[in-house]
Structure 1
Amino acid sequence: MKKIFLSLLLIAGTTLAASAQILPSFQFGLKAGANFSNLKDVSIKSETRTGVLGGVWARVGGAGVHFQPELYFISKGSDGTDGKFKFTTMDLPLLLGTRIGVGPIAARVQIGPVVSFVMDEEHSFIDNVGQVTQFDEYKKQTFALTGGIGVDISNLRADLRYEQGLSDVYDSSESDDNGRLKLWTLSVGYRLF
């Protein structure tokens, strides 16, 4: 009887351990950080601008692959000798990734699209002859691709990512290259559950 009971217990434990690797887990947390953005436009001399970000993230995954949507507010833009360009956006990255490691310490690699919704904008660029540059229309939504690495240590999360704009920030009759943002982000997060 003991042998049967121990065999059933061993089978049940093995089944639970295997299903824990297959069934998705769910995590949710907060994140904050800094970004370093630059506007790529041939008609404007721009330099990197430092901004901040803050929001929430969730992660659903199992068997080494996870899906991580995030939602945060972020300030981006460029500074230059000709003026400044600043956006506040609400960003929605939809990331696919993998976690490498066991237990409470692991590394991650993630990639995915980002949709940005413009909440506020400031701009004041002056062209080569001292005239304020007039842009025809600022877009209220832009798209980008982001990817990077991260580390999980217990409930703490840290991420380093690069983001490349896929769509123009504005339409301008003065330039064919209408401002695609590129930026680096460095963020830390905390897993609530």
Structure 2
Amino acid sequence: MRKIYLFATILLTIICGQVNAQLLPTFQFGVKGGVNLTSINTSSTFGNLSGDNRAGFIGGLWARVGGAGLHFQPELYYTTKNVTVRADNTSAENKASFSSLDLPLLIGTRVGALGVGARFNTGPLVSFAINKDQNYSSAFGNAVNLRYKDQNYAWQFGAGLDIKQISFDLRYELGLNKIPTGDGDAKTKINLFNFTVAYRLFGL
């Protein structure tokens, strides 16, 4: 019985230490990389469009400042966003590829102990376009022209898993601003799913 009490005492001490550590201000910094999947909003509200999801790349830096169970996580990464889009009733395609510097400003919380924890994040994202390529097919019909803006806005929702210095994140990025399609007043929005793996270089 004494061994059980001793084991329980040690376990509670470790858990309490981990909880107290989460309440103290911390700072972490690292690198991240991964893939995304881009899609367009095909609702008739924005014009009758259809499209195919295509994969892109993400790579950059992240930081995390936390205390009292909450954290602020700004990031800066380079990303490519690829999508194939077409107007209904035509076979003409536009294989659009955009690259940008993205700046998410996330607020989140973390639960866990012993170096393993789950995170939940949300917040706004500002995207600064670097390159905008569009390749139109030679099929009959007018291909959709996406007039992607130099500065775009989105909102991210996501969850992550921390295992020691490695983190895994899965997020949904909801496009906020409407992108003209070059077809009258029709507009669309670009949304993304992204999956990244991050490595913590140092933390305090």
What SS does structure 2 have at the residue aligned with 1:45? strand
Do the aligned partners of 2:94 and 2:145 also contact (CA within 8 Å) in 1? no
Do the aligned partners of 2:162 and 2:168 also contact (CA within 8 Å) in 1? yes
Matches within 5 A, 1:141-152: 141-152=151-162
Letter in structure 1 aligned against 2:25:
P
Change (3 A) 1:186 1:175: farther
Change (3 A) 1:176 1:164: farther
1:13-66 CA-to-partner distances (Å, cap 9, x unmatched) read: xxx999754431000000000000012253442110100100000000012100
Mapped partners of 1:116, 1:127: distance in 2: 31
Letter in structure 2 aligned against 1:73:
Y
Mapped partners of 2:165, 2:190: distance in 1: 32
What SS does structure 2 have at the residue aligned with 1:192? strand
**Which of 181, 184, 188 is equivalent to 2:193?**
184
| 1:3 corresponds to | none
| 1:161 corresponds to | 171
**Which of 151, 168, 171 is equivalent to 2:180?**
171
TM-score, structure 1 as length reference: 0.81
What SS does structure 2 have at the residue aligned with 1:185? strand
Query: What is the CA distance between 1:123 and its match in structure 2?
Result: 1.2
Q: CA RMSD in A?
A: 2.4
Query: What is the CA distance between 1:124 and its match in structure 2?
Result: 3.1
| 1:8 corresponds to | none
**Which of 79, 83, 99 is equivalent to 1:78?**
83
Q: What is the total number of aligned residue pairs between the two structures?
A: 176
Change (3 A) 1:191 1:51: same
| 2:36 corresponds to | 35
Gaps of 5+ in 2: 1-16, 86-90
Letter in structure 2 aligned against 1:120:
N
Do the aligned partners of 1:66 and 1:97 also contact (CA within 8 Å) in 2? yes
TM-score, structure 2 as length reference: 0.77
Q: Percent identity?
A: 41
Mapped partners of 2:33, 2:19: distance in 1: 35
Query: What is the CA distance between 1:172 and its match in structure 2?
Result: 4.3
Letter in structure 1 aligned against 2:159:
I
Mapped partners of 1:103, 1:17: distance in 2: 7
Mapped partners of 2:55, 2:36: distance in 1: 6
Matches within 5 A, 1:1-193: 20-41=21-42, 42-80=47-85, 82-125=93-136, 130-134=141-145, 137-168=147-178, 170-193=179-202
